[in-house]
């Protein structure tokens, strides 16, 4: 009987080897369970001036409907009206870098977070546990015209007295998808 309990506990330990690998060079995410691919997705990492850090991390926190306190959404007429929405947030660093659902474009465009399409973010959120390993490798390429423009604007900002910020709220809540997890 004791051997049976030991085997069950030992096999549970072996099964729980989950890793999320993020390749900044290719803008891809691969979630693996014991070297078996569980999920693959395209991503959108940090744009010029907001690079996504590389290294080895762990999932520190999970929050299904997180609101950013670092990047508020600004409306000129109404003023600040809350933070950017970060659904299915998986915190990777203590400085605010997270994996979350959002608009994924063909170039790095986030403030350092790793954006994943909604459907994939929902699956990843359910699959991931606190403590799941996250390995971020590669180097983001800023060769596209949009990021080259951003780099040149950063160089010129010394001559600009007032920096104009444009916030676009491309992330929208999808209530019917969020209720999906309430029924599991």
What the chain holds in terms of domains, given with CATH numbers, is 15-150+164-183 (2.40.440.10)
Predicted confidence (pLDDT) per residue in 45-64, tens digit:
998 888 999 999 999 999 99
Q: At 4, is the pLDDT very low, low, confident or very high (cuts 50, 70, 90)?
A: low
Predicted confidence (pLDDT) per residue in 166-183, tens digit:
444 444 444 444 444 444
Task: For residue 180, give the H/E element and its range.
Answer: none
pLDDT mean over 146-164 = 54
Rg (CA), the chain: 19
Is residue 99 within 8 A of residue 24, CB to CB? The reply is no
pLDDT score, position 140 = 77
Q: Which two tokens stand for residue 42?
A: 């395209």
Q: At 106, is the pLDDT very low, low, confident or very high (cuts 50, 70, 90)?
A: confident
Query: How many CA atoms lie less than 13 Å away from 95 in the CB half-sphere?
Result: 8
């Amino acid at each position: 009987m004791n051997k049976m309990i030991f085997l069950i506990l030992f096999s549970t330990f072996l099964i729980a080897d989950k890793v999320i690998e993020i390749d900044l060079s290719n803008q891809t995410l691969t979630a693996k369970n014991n070297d078996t691919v569980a999920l693959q997705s395209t991503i959108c990492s940090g744009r010029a001036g907001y690079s996504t850090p590389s290294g080895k991390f762990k999932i520190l926190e999970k929050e299904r409907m997180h609101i950013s306190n670092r990047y508020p959404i600004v409306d000129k007429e109404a003023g600040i009206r809350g933070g950017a929405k970060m659904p299915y947030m998986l915190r990777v660093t203590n400085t605010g870098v997270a994996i979350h659902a959002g608009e994924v474009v063909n170039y790095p465009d986030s403030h350092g977070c790793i954006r994943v399409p909604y459907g994939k973010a929902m699956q990843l959120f359910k699959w991931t546990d606190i403590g799941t390993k996250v390995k971020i490798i590669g180097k983001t390429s800023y060769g596209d015209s949009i990021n080259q423009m951003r780099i040149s604007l950063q160089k010129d900002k010394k001559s600009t007295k007032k920096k104009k910020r444009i916030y676009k709220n491309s992330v929208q809540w999808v209530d019917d998808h969020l209720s999906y997890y309430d029924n599991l």
